[in-house]
Chain A
């Protein structure tokens, strides 16, 4: 219910921004020197001369029935978006798996070996990771692996099988730079969080009890510590999926990865109102789903949480 409310207000907000912006879209699309009657025709075709509530209804109705067409690509929204969605999900999945696999062990090591060289390196790495602009990492990787070593392609998505490029060797080579640059930043945040959360848990009384029972330190950390320490980490991974899947505008633009982020950028540049509207709703629905998933996982990990 709340999610529906959020989606509704958000759609109005985006619609408002699109409509309040100065400039006539029909004029822009028709180009400089277009005849007034051409502009009028285009306005008629795009429904721009109807009142705002009617236009809004047309957008919402068209979005759910699949009739809404992108103004720039002249295709139904789903046709334009579906391939990009797959590409983004693919890139996001690789980046998330990479960052989770590396960040949780790093955070555990930093917490267990507190105030040692390992802890300081992980902490410094994490601090550096949250300070680095994501597109700059991508540029650096391009310079190093594309320019000097000449081992990786610097842009695009490469060959794919059935829309999935991770199924081909060429696709793998293309996915490395964008995935690593996105993963590095998320890794930094996640390692930091794992460390602080595990440190807090390890100071609890039941950990002392577990130790005094004589279980090995490894079991103490993994079985008693980690399960509780991972609760905030899971939340963070949920939020990570949002950034990686839907918000990768910068990474996808700089590496020319044909995903949703790049499509958002293109739609804004071309001022493709129906496409932008559709993208916003799709991304917002995705965000709401991740919030739901995080809540459910939370309840699973922490039995004391009960939702009504």
Chain B
């Protein structure tokens, strides 16, 4: 069987989709690659600041600035697909068939991943149609305080008479937004550090390992709470804390690179005089992409858990902005009388994190069942 070849080609396509700039750079299209990289940085900035302004105005006018967001996302996705198409064009037709066959075979074999993707799709759908299906999550109604779940209030109301269902629906936006953004930054940082440290070793590697040791000698949550409490909670600070102070991806990538750099094809590339950047981008990174994908989907779940924990302690997203963690915190004092305030927001956290873990699990099974993460 030539399955290993298929997998490496499958990986090339994943690289083209996930890291288009690397694909472009490796194809010798430097300007386009750098342009795309700049666009990525810019769009992640726009996404975080457009979608996650934790002011109440942004919530009350949910579609303000939406056209920019849609434009950015559309350009991004179109660019990615163009890269994938250009990557597939370079191959033969039989390869295309095997690629789709591999995908469909793996997906049909593993219902876990589909289930996870469906749940996540449902949540994304909720984010998009939030204003249509739910009422204002901030409006207080002291005539309907602590109502039980009913036809009017699907999941009941909290102590200010706010609709729990609406708050959960709007909470999705912040949870997914911060969780995904932090993970993307975290993976970018971790992959870069891991690749550089693993390839060059020496001083850079030693420094990275010391930093890892230091971060591993106190609980992450303690450091996170400390920083957020000392410097004041804000969306950008939360994203920075969740992305910079977790370096597991760097460790995993590094250990993989240490193995890969001894392979013959890397030695060959070095022998013909390839620059370190080229070796890292074209030979090492594509081989770590599978691992990165698995790590990323697991990290999103972990980030959502950390974010919920921080909000639960009053250190995350500031009230009255709805977030699942702070909803649990607010309901805690009356939880025995009004269990719905404790059950539903937690259920939302649990379902989302489980969905990400399901996807991560099935991705791992599809890419490399022996991978231990």
Report if A283 contacts B (CB, 8 A).
yes
User: Nearest A residue to B352 by beta-carbon distance?
Assistant: A131
Whether B354 lies near A128 (C-beta < 8 A) is yes
Q: Mark B334-360, 1 if CB is under 8 A from A, else 0.
A: 011101001100100110011011100
Report if A161 contacts B (CB, 8 A).
no
How many of B's residues come within 8 Å of A, CB to CB? Answer: 42
User: Which residues B78-101 have CB closer than 8 A to chain A?
Assistant: none
**Given the known A-B contacts A5-B210, A146-B336, A284-B218, are A250 and B312 also in contact in the complex, defined by CB atoms under 8 Å?**
yes
Whether B328 lies near A139 (C-beta < 8 A) is yes
User: Nearest A residue to B354 by beta-carbon distance?
Assistant: A131
How distant is the Cα of A288 from the Cα of B1 in the complex, in angstroms?
48
Whether B358 lies near A127 (C-beta < 8 A) is yes
How distant is the Cα of A20 from the Cα of B312 in the complex, in angstroms?
25
How distant is the Cα of A20 from the Cα of B232 in the complex, in angstroms?
12
How distant is the Cα of A135 from the Cα of B307 in the complex, in angstroms?
12
- Point out the residues of chain A lying under 8 angstroms from B346, CB to CB: 133, 136, 139-140
Whether B335 lies near A142 (C-beta < 8 A) is yes
User: Which residues A233-257 have CB closer than 8 A to chain B?
Assistant: 242-243, 246-247, 249-250, 253-254
Q: Mark B239-281, 1 if CB is under 8 A from A, else 0.
A: 0000000000000000000000000000000000000000000
Report if A222 contacts B (CB, 8 A).
no
Q: Mark B207-225, 1 if CB is under 8 A from A, else 0.
A: 0001001101111111001
User: Nearest B residue to A154 by beta-carbon distance?
Assistant: B336
Whether A133 lies near B305 (C-beta < 8 A) is yes
Whether B219 lies near A288 (C-beta < 8 A) is no
How distant is the Cα of A126 from the Cα of B118 in the complex, in angstroms?
21
User: Nearest A residue to B224 by beta-carbon distance?
Assistant: A249
- Point out the residues of chain A lying under 8 angstroms from B301, CB to CB: 130-131
Report if A297 contacts B (CB, 8 A).
no
How distant is the Cα of A280 from the Cα of B215 in the complex, in angstroms?
12
- Point out the residues of chain A lying under 8 angstroms from B221, CB to CB: 247, 249-250
- Point out the residues of chain A lying under 8 angstroms from B372, CB to CB: 196
- Point out the residues of chain A lying under 8 angstroms from B354, CB to CB: 127-128, 131
Q: Mark A1-21, 1 if CB is under 8 A from B, else 0.
A: 010011101100110011011
Whether A249 lies near B217 (C-beta < 8 A) is no
Measured CB to CB, the closest approach of chain A to B134, in angstroms, equals: 22
User: Nearest A residue to B112 by beta-carbon distance?
Assistant: A127
**Given the known A-B contacts A17-B226, A268-B229, A284-B218, are A133 and B309 also in contact in the complex, defined by CB atoms under 8 Å?**
yes
How distant is the Cα of A128 from the Cα of B221 in the complex, in angstroms?
21
Report if A132 contacts B (CB, 8 A).
yes
Whether A132 lies near B350 (C-beta < 8 A) is yes
Report if A147 contacts B (CB, 8 A).
yes
**Given the known A-B contacts A132-B350, A136-B328, A139-B346, are A250 and B313 also in contact in the complex, defined by CB atoms under 8 Å?**
yes
User: Which residues A252-266 have CB closer than 8 A to chain B?
Assistant: 253-254, 264-265
- Point out the residues of chain A lying under 8 angstroms from B313, CB to CB: 249-250, 253, 265
Q: How many A-B residue pairs have CB under 8 A?
A: 124
- Point out the residues of chain B lying under 8 angstroms from A147, CB to CB: 335-337, 339
Q: Mark A256-288, 1 if CB is under 8 A from B, else 0.
A: 000000001100110100001000100110011
Measured CB to CB, the closest approach of chain A to B207, in angstroms, equals: 11
- Point out the residues of chain B lying under 8 angstroms from A299, CB to CB: none
Whether B226 lies near A6 (C-beta < 8 A) is no
How distant is the Cα of A91 from the Cα of B301 in the complex, in angstroms?
27
Report if B308 contacts A (CB, 8 A).
yes
Whether B230 lies near A21 (C-beta < 8 A) is yes
User: Nearest A residue to B336 by beta-carbon distance?
Assistant: A147
Report if B125 contacts A (CB, 8 A).
no
Whether A269 lies near B229 (C-beta < 8 A) is yes
Report if B31 contacts A (CB, 8 A).
no
How distant is the Cα of A18 from the Cα of B227 in the complex, in angstroms?
9
How distant is the Cα of A136 from the Cα of B329 in the complex, in angstroms?
10
User: Nearest B residue to A127 by beta-carbon distance?
Assistant: B357
User: Nearest B residue to A280 by beta-carbon distance?
Assistant: B218
- Select one of A18, A20, A130 contacting B357, CB under 8 A: A130
Report if A151 contacts B (CB, 8 A).
no
**Given the known A-B contacts A10-B214, A131-B357, A140-B342, are A249 and B219 also in contact in the complex, defined by CB atoms under 8 Å?**
yes
The 5 closest A-B pairs by CB, nearest first: A247-B219, A21-B230, A136-B346, A147-B336, A131-B354
Q: 8 other contacts beyond A2-B213, A130-B301, A139-B342, with CB at 8 A cut-off?
A: A130-B357, A131-B356, A133-B350, A142-B335, A249-B222, A249-B313, A269-B229, A287-B218
9 sampled A-B residue pairs with Cβ under 8 A? A17-B227, A18-B230, A131-B350, A143-B336, A143-B342, A147-B335, A249-B222, A253-B313, A264-B222
Name A residues whose Cβ lies closer than 8 Å to a Cβ of B. 2, 5-7, 9-10, 13-14, 17-18, 20-22, 127-128, 130-136, 139-140, 142-143, 146-147, 154, 196, 242-243, 246-247, 249-250, 253-254, 264-265, 268-269, 271, 276, 280, 283-284, 287-288
Name B residues whose Cβ lies closer than 8 Å to a Cβ of A. 210, 213-214, 216-222, 225-227, 229-232, 301, 305, 308-309, 312-313, 325, 328, 332, 335-337, 339, 342-343, 346, 349-350, 353-354, 356-358, 361, 372
